[in-house]
Structure 1
Amino acid sequence: MVYKFRVILDAEEDVFRDIAILSTDSLEDLHNAIVNAFGFDGLEIASFYTCDDEWIQEDEIPLFDTGEDDKTSMAGHTLESLLDLDRTKIIYVYDFLNMWTFFVELAAIEEPESGASYPELLFSHGEMPAEAPEKEFGSNDDMFGDDFDDDYDDEDLDMFDDDHNFEDLGFDERNWN
């Protein structure tokens, strides 16, 4: 079967690509198709993230096996093992310094066309911006702020005030550079 995806850049402007790829191909193959479709050089680290229907990020699937928490790499996951008509969404992040973020949605599952080679770029809309769109990280509510409220003030960090005596610790200041 052929999976047809719409890959949308998380930006204010409409920038997306439609890609057809075999359902038996790996996430690494989809990664390569996305890199080519959007004109990246492919030299940066990337990850896919499973998500729910509201695009809430869940599990990471990295480009390379990091050996942490039994994660496997993109090469270890076929598209059909993760996505179907009931599970249609996945998030893709390319270049963790710039955080190019894409919403990848399975739009159709079809029979392969005779003579077609996959993956295939079906449609391209919009120009890629010169820089990745800025992201706002964090929460709208201060759900953790109360955990850090205490009697702390800036004077608590003053290690050179008269209350601290470093002579008893055996340091010889003449040896300091």
Structure 2
Amino acid sequence: MIYRFRIILDNDTEDDVFRDLEIRETDTLEDLHNAITQSFGFDGNEMASFYLSDDTWEQGEEISLFDMSDGMNSVRLMNETSINDIADEKQTKLIYVYDFLSMWTFFVELAEIVEEAEGMDYPNLMFVHGQIPDQAPEKAFEADDMMDDFNEFDDDLDLDDYDSLDFDENWN
């Protein structure tokens, strides 16, 4: 069977950027990773991970390109995980992050499962929409929102008044 995926760049611009890919269900996530990087014009040399996701795009279990766990916690690897092991009619959404310094983030959704077309080469780039920007779109994380309300000087302490501070200034 052939899985048809839509890969959408997570950006907050008016311009949608996505690619539609076909890939065999028995191919690995590393094969899907390679198809995505090629279809968006990346060199493919950066670290990347897929994350299982639910209907609200919450990030779940990580499936990594390389094992960076130092043996502490085992990590699923892309080259050992076939696409049909993690995606089907019930589990249709993945999050893909490429280049952890730039944090290119994509929503990957299984659109349909079809019969393999005779004579077709897979993976197959079916459709291209939009141009990828020069830089990854900036992300606003929840911690950033919390920091907006934080004021390090909003504690009414006078740092020049050593007598009111609760420490021994000659501690060493």
Q: Would you say same fold, with TM above 0.5?
A: yes
Could you tell me how far apart the structure 2 residues matched to 1:73 and 1:82 are? 12
Q: Secondary structure at the match of 2:159?
A: helix
**Matched positions, count:** 157
Q: Give the alignment's TM-score, normalised by structure 1.
A: 0.81
**DSSP 3-state at the match of 2:76:** coil
**Where does structure 1 lack aligned partners over 5 or more consecutive residues?**
146-150, 170-177
SS of the equivalent of 1:101 reads strand
1:84-129 Cα distance to aligned partner (Å, 9 max, x none): 0111000000011111000000001011100001101000000111
Which runs of 4 or more aligned residues in structure 1 lie more than 4 Å from their structure 2 counterparts after TM superposition?
139-142, 151-154
**2:152 match:** none
Aligned residue type for 1:164: E
1:103 corresponds to which residue? 107
1:4 match: 4
Match of 2:169 in 1: 164
Correspondence for 1:55 among 42, 57, 67 = 57
Question: For residues 152 and 83 of structure 1, what CA distance do their matches in structure 2 show?
Answer: 54
Matched, 1:89 2:64: no
Q: Indicate the RMSD between aligned Cα atoms, in angstroms.
A: 2.5
How far apart, CA to CA, are the structure 1 residues paired with 2:109 and 2:144?
26
Change (3 A) 1:152 1:19: farther
Partners of 1:122 and 1:16 in 2: CA distance: 11
Q: Name the structure 2 match of 1:79.
A: 83
From 93, 112, 121, the counterpart of 1:117:
121
Contact conserved, 2:18 with 2:130, CA < 8 A, in 1? yes
The higher radius of gyration belongs to 1
Q: 2:76, 2:101 → 1: CA distance?
A: 22
Structural mapping, 1:9-88, within 5 Å? 9-11=9-11, 12=13, 13-66=15-68, 67-88=71-92
Q: Deviations along 1:127-151, whole A, 9 cap, x unmatched?
A: 1111111100116986xx9xxxxx7
**Structure 2, gaps ≥5 residues long:** 150-154
Q: Percent identity?
A: 54
Match of 1:155 in 2: 159
